[in-house]
Structure 1
Amino acid sequence: MSRRFNTAGPCRPGIDYMVPAAARLPEALGLVEQEGYFVVHAPRQTGKTTTLEALARELTAAGRYAALLFSCESGRAWEDDIGSASRAVLERIRAEADRVLPLPLRPPAWPEAAEGALLVAALTAWAQACPRPLVLFVDEIDALRGQTLISVLSQLRDGYRGRPGSFPASVALCGLRDVRDYKAASGGDPSRLGTSSPFNIKLESLRLGDFTADEVRELYGQHTAETGQEFTSAAVDRAIELTGGQPWLVNALAREVVEKLAVPPVEPITIDHVEQAKERLILARATHLDSLAARLAEPRVRRVLGPVLAGDVLTIEPYDDDIAYLRDLGLIAQDPPVRAANPIYREVIVRVLASRIQESVIADPRSFVRPDGTFDLPKMLSEFTEFWMEHGEFLTSRDYYSEAAPQLVLMGFLQRVVNGGGYVDREYGVGTGRTDLLIRWPYIVEDGTRHLQREALELKVWREGRADPLRAGLRQLDGYLDRLDLTTGVLVVFDQRPNAADIAERTVITTTTSPAGRTITLVRA
């Protein structure tokens, strides 16, 4: 049986396709050799456990260290019961050691100790009995909270000076966030730990990154080598573009194509298969994407994403903790400008926020398909303006992502009427006050050849105290159409000034000419 693309839990050698661990965290070995205590952090389902488990296995197999990965998840239930949480963690250490370590490297019986010293006493006894230096990878450290987290971090600091003979030589704490955030998880008062950092023995913080383009190609190439089924270069490039290399998405797209779409092994996997898989993943709202969507209601997430969705200037310092928080969660890209981490996340964010709009749209998507199979954009714009005149003021009067409310109304309407027949690509121009949309509508003509209709829209908002965005919008739309090599487009201007004319009076569809001489459909709403 061939290996498979894994989307649930750590990857298993020989069963799942895997990127080599050493390539993903190359700095870790050097820190272990320096007897360093360090932090590894990354968003969920990025491959932290898979990578550290493989690294522990390699370190032990080399014969120099006794290395073990264990999880603190079992201590989650005891936020302030230090003794119970410590015993739960020690049980996991013993169970994992019995499972993966040779008998001479396993821990002795744990010694008796006060509840606040159980961990330091146990690790000291193990380090003294073990014939090799101990290396511990403490997974899910952020599952611990309150006094329990404080106690674990404090005990590691207490034992640190005894390394390597009387305490683990190297320890890595692994979780979602960097160590700077452990204070908040432990209660938020740094004085309770006696330092501004709860883990000031840390030598370095490592962030496990997304797959590189070469790693995605290698992973997909493993499937080709085992089954003979080729991913076309265009399909791989599109997968890299859609996922941004996010490991779960990379595996999920491929799994959707291979197992759910069940493309026969004798057929190559094409860009169309990848597009279908992307849509199915978003619509299915798998656990990974659902957990992402659940974050959107958090105030600190809204504070960053609201202006991003609206294309407004982001009045937040580059080192603002909310930006760091979203980067650590994997919601936004690691490098400026602030934007969704990848196109799939961008699509999920919009569809979740616009879902209440879609449910209000009663239009039949089939009614927007012309007899020749093309998409009827003028009909869509006409019906949207009717929808906007009836529901726009109510839908934009709520506080939820109010900065981007008009854009979300249009995107929700558009997604409903395009659903099933085509695709909507979105771009947010941070600081430009615009949102760009591209409708891609595949259709087949009478001779059986496949064609792709493309329609570009730019959305602008006219706010109080600002000039009419028409001129800037036309100029920006020209640039967008130049990139797409299109001759015409649509500019939508939402008037959100408090003293604007009545919505029924101001909502109108006309045409205008752009600075480049293009005929542009202008929607004022």
Structure 2
Amino acid sequence: MQKRFNVTGTCIPEKHYMVDISNKLDSILKLVNNEEYFIINRPRQYGKTTTLYMLERYLNKFKDYLVISISFEGIGDLIFEDEKIFSKEFLQIMSDSLFISNETLSKYLEEQKTHVENFIDLSRIITKFIIKAKRKVVLMIDEVDKSSNNQLFLSFLGLLRNKYLLRNVGKDYTFHNVVLAGVHDIKTLKLKIRANEEHKYNSPWNIASDFDVEMSFSISEIKTMLDDYVENKKVDLDKEYFAEKLYFYTSGYPFLVSKLCKIIDEKIMDQNELKWEKEYLELAVKELLNESNTNFDSLIKNIENNKELSELVDNLLIKGIQLNFNIHNPDINLGYLYGIFRNEKGNLKINNRIYEQLIYDYRISKIQTSSNFVNYNSKENFIDSNGDLNIKKVLLKFQDFMKHEYSQKREAFLEEDGRLVFLAFLSPIINGSGFAFKEVKGGEEKRFDIVITYNKKMYILELKIWRGEEYHKKGLIQLGEYLDQYGLEEGYLLIFDFRKAASLIGIVEETYVDIEEHRKKIIEVYC
């Protein structure tokens, strides 16, 4: 059977192209060997289930380990109605997990469930089971989020916690390890000690060790998946280039890395040639951003359902405000939990460039449905006879649009949304044939750069608000340096000008800057 890139469920080495995560497993095994209890809490589709599976495969090689791998996904709510039901069903789930690998222990657990009435009974049966197993029993529970808001489940964690503490002082037998996996960090969940004293809490999982394993993929790790792909399918591709570019767009987010590879392999690459051209990755990014999937749907939902989180995202992405990463800030913590944010050397950042583009596109779409672009941005008016995009025409027409459509409300509107209005204006012009990559440059100037590719040509456009002559001159030099970096001779500057007396609204200027003996032409358009 031909291997494939997998983006749903567990990845299996014999069936799927996979990253070599042996370094990650080595770090996890140190926790296992030290008898630690821990939780792998990461955003959705971040490789948690696959990591558990690969850890189980590794431990099964050793006769002194017995792995019981279960999941709380799809078990329904009935199990959480009372201790008796939960205790019986938990033993049954454990029994089912062992049915193929160890029928004797599986039958033992099934027999014991008839004797359990509460958590005290369950604790005793776990003790007897560990003694009978005569091995290091590792309990893995996936999808714990399905039950993490349930009081009974938290009480069950308290049972495991108590047995762990007794085990450490030689007064009980229990699981060698308990490994939980989910989005939330169970250590932060609270367990009420007394029902009539609502303000007294204790953590049911404060015994858990910190899980500091980096679950995102590095460039070198991404390359191992491409190695696997090339070896099995005999595809011709520049592994170094694509590994770096995949990381550039995804920051190593496992789902996004595999998804882009899957799109190139199954939708873009010519199956008769089996070769990845460099432009395929950009095409895959466009394809991905245009599709609906549960990962993207969840991202947008989580942002839209929380006003403070939504404002924080806009501050980072649209306004270019620089913020420190502080996990104790509840809005930052929530965004980090959902995979929206990442910590980049103490600075708060959107997790990856794919998410940045997705959020931009979503915001742009909302602007498009509320603005009248009909008479201004017909695509055919901005494409030259050779098929190239005429950026100067685009800027002049946008200038005209702003003059007629937003002349009355421009000052109040543009400070917040002017950049999005331009992106909404540009989007249908380049849609289908081009791509606009947006990047905010923080600091005093708050530059907003757009790198546009169209008809295999690149254009660099900078958007910024007028903040004085000194900053403007610095901005021209910075744009010139940016052009030099890409080997381009001409760039574009769109300036939103709020000055009352000396406004240059409607003006177009051509400026030249010298960057290390290279003269760069910059076309400035004022709105």
After TM superposition, the score normalised by the length of structure 1 is: 0.84
Task: Measure how far apart 1:436 and its partner are.
Answer: 0.9
Tell me how far apart the structure 1 counterparts of residues 179 and 200 of structure 2 sit (CA, whole Å).
19
Instruction: Say whether residues 1:327 and 2:325 are aligned partners.
Output: no
Tell me how far apart the structure 1 counterparts of residues 380 and 293 of structure 2 sit (CA, whole Å).
27
Aligned to 2:509: 511
**CA pair 381-90 structure 1, distance change in 2 beyond 3 A:** farther
Tell me how far apart the structure 2 counterparts of residues 190 and 246 of structure 1 sit (CA, whole Å).
43
Tell me how far apart the structure 1 counterparts of residues 158 and 411 of structure 2 sit (CA, whole Å).
50
AA in 2 matched with 1:301: L
Identity %: 26
**CA pair 468-87 structure 1, distance change in 2 beyond 3 A:** farther
Instruction: Say whether residues 1:373 and 2:377 are aligned partners.
Output: no
Aligned to 2:434: 422
**CA pair 124-72 structure 1, distance change in 2 beyond 3 A:** farther
AA in 2 matched with 1:356: K
**CA pair 74-394 structure 1, distance change in 2 beyond 3 A:** farther
Please tell me the root mean square deviation across aligned C-alpha atoms, in Å.
Answer: 3.4
Task: Measure how far apart 1:315 and its partner are.
Answer: 5.0
2:3·2:14 contact (CA, 8 Å) conserved in 1? yes
Aligned to 1:141: 144
Aligned to 1:174: 181
Task: Measure how far apart 1:341 and its partner are.
Answer: 2.2
**CA pair 25-388 structure 1, distance change in 2 beyond 3 A:** farther
**Which of 278, 288, 310 does residue 318 from structure 2 map onto?**
310
Task: Measure how far apart 1:215 and its partner are.
Answer: 1.8
Tell me how far apart the structure 1 counterparts of residues 496 and 17 of structure 2 sit (CA, whole Å).
48
Deviations 1:76-130 (A, max 9, x none): 646973545666555443333325x322443613254455557645533432332
Deviations 1:160-210 (A, max 9, x none): 134486211111221113345434999xx9977743x44111122234421
Aligned to 2:133: 130
Instruction: Say whether residues 1:355 and 2:353 are aligned partners.
Output: no
Structure 2 residue ranges without an equivalent (≥5): none
**Which of 190, 207, 212 does residue 201 from structure 1 map onto?**
207
Tell me how far apart the structure 1 counterparts of residues 23 and 296 of structure 2 sit (CA, whole Å).
26
2:127·2:174 contact (CA, 8 Å) conserved in 1? yes
Structure 1 residue ranges without an equivalent (≥5): 443-451
AA in 1 matched with 2:290: L
**CA pair 316-261 structure 1, distance change in 2 beyond 3 A:** closer
Matches for 1:232-251 after TM superposition, within 5 Å: 232-233=238-239, 234-251=241-258
Matches for 1:260-339 after TM superposition, within 5 Å: 260-264=267-271, 266-297=273-304, 298-315=306-323, 318-319=326-327, 320-336=329-345, 337-339=347-349
**Which of 426, 429, 437 does residue 450 from structure 2 map onto?**
437
**Which of 225, 228, 235 does residue 234 from structure 2 map onto?**
228
AA in 2 matched with 1:510: V
Task: Measure how far apart 1:396 and its partner are.
Answer: 9.1
Tell me how far apart the structure 2 counterparts of residues 50 and 264 of structure 1 sit (CA, whole Å).
29
AA in 2 matched with 1:484: Y
User: Secondary structure of the equivalent of 1:489?
Assistant: strand
Deviations 1:325-375 (A, max 9, x none): 333332233323332222222211111111123445433323321101110
User: Secondary structure of the equivalent of 2:230?
Assistant: helix
Aligned to 1:448: none
**CA pair 436-148 structure 1, distance change in 2 beyond 3 A:** farther
Matches for 1:91-106 after TM superposition, within 5 Å: 91-99=92-100, 101-106=101-106
Tell me how far apart the structure 2 counterparts of residues 185 and 18 of structure 1 sit (CA, whole Å).
43
Runs of 4+ with >6 A deviation: 189-193, 393-398
**Which of 129, 151, 155 does residue 151 from structure 1 map onto?**
155
AA in 1 matched with 2:382: F
Matches for 1:112-127 after TM superposition, within 5 Å: 112-115=115-118, 120=123, 123-127=126-130
Task: Measure how far apart 1:507 and its partner are.
Answer: 3.9
AA in 1 matched with 2:432: G
1:492·1:524 contact (CA, 8 Å) conserved in 2? yes
Tell me how far apart the structure 2 counterparts of residues 171 and 316 of structure 1 sit (CA, whole Å).
34
| More divergent stretch after superposition (389-398 vs 515-524) | 389-398
1:396·1:406 contact (CA, 8 Å) conserved in 2? no
Instruction: Say whether residues 1:413 and 2:425 are aligned partners.
Output: yes
2:438·2:450 contact (CA, 8 Å) conserved in 1? yes
2:42·2:339 contact (CA, 8 Å) conserved in 1? yes
| More divergent stretch after superposition (29-38 vs 351-360) | 351-360
1:462·1:468 contact (CA, 8 Å) conserved in 2? no
User: Secondary structure of the equivalent of 2:14?
Assistant: coil
Task: Measure how far apart 1:24 and its partner are.
Answer: 2.6
| More divergent stretch after superposition (249-258 vs 362-371) | 362-371
**CA pair 292-265 structure 1, distance change in 2 beyond 3 A:** farther
After TM superposition, the score normalised by the length of structure 2 is: 0.84
Tell me how far apart the structure 2 counterparts of residues 300 and 307 of structure 1 sit (CA, whole Å).
11
**CA pair 113-493 structure 1, distance change in 2 beyond 3 A:** farther
Task: Measure how far apart 1:142 and its partner are.
Answer: 2.0
Tell me how far apart the structure 2 counterparts of residues 316 and 367 of structure 1 sit (CA, whole Å).
44
**CA pair 103-397 structure 1, distance change in 2 beyond 3 A:** farther
Task: Measure how far apart 1:55 and its partner are.
Answer: 0.7
AA in 1 matched with 2:441: G
**CA pair 216-265 structure 1, distance change in 2 beyond 3 A:** farther
Instruction: Say whether residues 1:160 and 2:164 are aligned partners.
Output: yes
| More divergent stretch after superposition (114-123 vs 274-283) | 114-123
Aligned to 1:210: 216
**CA pair 87-388 structure 1, distance change in 2 beyond 3 A:** farther
| More divergent stretch after superposition (312-321 vs 206-215) | 312-321
**CA pair 378-266 structure 1, distance change in 2 beyond 3 A:** closer
Tell me how far apart the structure 1 counterparts of residues 31 and 281 of structure 2 sit (CA, whole Å).
39
Tell me how far apart the structure 1 counterparts of residues 153 and 418 of structure 2 sit (CA, whole Å).
44
1:48·1:174 contact (CA, 8 Å) conserved in 2? yes
2:383·2:390 contact (CA, 8 Å) conserved in 1? yes
2:447·2:464 contact (CA, 8 Å) conserved in 1? yes
**CA pair 264-435 structure 1, distance change in 2 beyond 3 A:** same
**CA pair 181-483 structure 1, distance change in 2 beyond 3 A:** farther
